[in-house]
Amino acid sequence: EEPDQFARKGLQLLVDGSEPEIIRSILEVEIDSKEHQDIQAAKVFDGMGGYSPTIGIIGAVMGLIHVMNNLADPSKLGGGIATAFVATIYGVGFANLLFLPMANKLKSQVHNQTQFREMIVEGVISIAEGENPRNIETKLQGYYQ
């Protein structure tokens, strides 16, 4: 029992006697579809990383506008300015410490998963074409170097 649905589908196509070109086309469509779907999550975090500093700057501007309204009372200036800068720090901090690293991690995982699936396709196609098992092993080891 193969736990990976993608590998199971490839093996099922192989056992059913499908032609290697048909197997490749079916599995490549699934790879492309899954990669496109998975990369959307990374794009969400990329967007959040792009907009987060902007929101921080908006917070800073609003804080400075509030400070300008209180110019007559010097005791309120320090707190208002501090609030303005904290908004900027949060925006930049969330972008660079959370959102952008998360997007990069997701992109890396999508790339690794896609490469793994491409390796499965090559293995299944090689079996379907009747290649020597040692040659198949050598070919697939190239994916991990």
Looking at residue 66, its pLDDT comes to 85
How confident is the model over 24-41, as a mean pLDDT?
96
Read off the pTM: 0.80
DSSP string covering 127-144: HHTT--HHHHHHHHHGGG
Using an 8 Å Cβ cutoff, are 23 and 120 in contact? Answer: no
Looking at residue 140, its pLDDT comes to 94
Give the whole-angstrom CA distance, residue 127 versus residue 41. Answer: 34
Give the whole-angstrom CA distance, residue 142 versus residue 130. Answer: 19
Give the whole-angstrom CA distance, residue 118 versus residue 121. Answer: 5
Give the whole-angstrom CA distance, residue 74 versus residue 76. Answer: 5
How confident is the model over 25-30, as a mean pLDDT?
97
State the Cα angle at 16 between 13 and 20, rounded to 5°.
Answer: 50
Share of the chain above pLDDT 70, in %: 99
Task: Dump pLDDT digits (tens) for 61-111.
Answer: 998 998 888 888 888 888 888 888 999 999 999 999 999 999 999 999 999
